């Protein structure tokens, strides 16, 4: 029997593992949209979704519309920013799965300053997770955390 795992992100996007591959699915129909990571890159790995954004602007949907709502300063935020992390069982390597500008995880590469800042926050979330939760040394965590944009681990040399 094949492993089937699902993650529904705060943005409503759905990621799932089927036949050893990490796929993105349509949030309403759960029809597959495309490959995020192939089976070879997931073999023996653990997938984690960690919050990585501006914590004071996390929206509590149960409190919307109540008196004294303190979320008015954060109205432009519609969801929590999250990092999708993949790491080895022995905590030896960390990969941050970077979303596209539109929030999807299918592999197009278009980056601007805001996108790079969000990517850096996700990488910091991966390092924090590795250090605080998994007990990895800080220096090792810094050198072992990498980002991926589909088949690429860098945007160097790619036409953007």
Buried b (16+ CB within 10 A) or exposed e, 75-90: eeeebbbbbbbbbeee
Mean pLDDT on 110-121: 73
Whole-number pLDDT of residue 74: 53
Q: Encode pLDDT of 87-96 as tens digits.
A: 888 877 888 9
Are 86 and 41 in contact by the 8 Å Cβ rule? The answer is yes
3-state secondary structure 27-63: CCCCCEEEEEECHHHHCCEEEEEEECCCHHHCCCCCC
Report how far Cα 86 is from the mean position of its chain's Cα atoms.
9
At residue 70, the pLDDT reads 47
pLDDT of residue 155: 54
What is the arithmetic mean of pLDDT over 120-146? Answer: 90
Mean per-residue pLDDT for 13-28?
88
Note the pLDDT of residue 109: 45
Residue-level pLDDT at 124: 92
Take residue 145 and report the two structure tokens written for it. Answer: 């955390």
For 24-79, the pLDDT digits (tens) are 888 888 888 888 888 888 888 899 888 887 665 555 545 545 544 444 445 554 56
Write down the pTM of the prediction: 0.55
What value does the mean pLDDT take over residues 109-136? Answer: 82
Type and span of the H or E element at 83: strand 82-88
Helices (H), the chain: 39-42, 113-128, 138-144
Mean pLDDT (the chain, rounded): 76
CA-based nearest residue to 47, from 62, 37, 55, 57: 37
């Amino acid at each position: 029997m094949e492993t089937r795992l699902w993650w529904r992100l705060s943005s409503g996007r759905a990621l799932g593992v089927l036949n050893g591959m990490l796929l993105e699915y349509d949030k309403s129909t759960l029809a597959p949209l495309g490959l995020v990571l192939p089976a070879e890159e997931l073999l023996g790995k653990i997938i984690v979704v960690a919050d990585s954004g501006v914590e004071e602007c996390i929206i509590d949907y149960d409190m919307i519309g109540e008196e004294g709502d303190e979320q008015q300063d954060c109205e432009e935020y519609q969801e929590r920013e999250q990092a999708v992390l993949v790491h080895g069982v022995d905590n030896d390597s960390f990969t941050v799965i970077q979303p596209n500008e539109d929030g999807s995880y299918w592999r197009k590469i278009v980056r601007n300053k805001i996108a790079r800042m969000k990517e850096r926050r996700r990488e910091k979330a991966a390092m924090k997770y590795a250090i605080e939760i998994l007990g990895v040394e800080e220096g090792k965590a810094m050198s072992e955390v990498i980002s991926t944009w589909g088949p690429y681990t860098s945007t160097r040399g790619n036409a953007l």
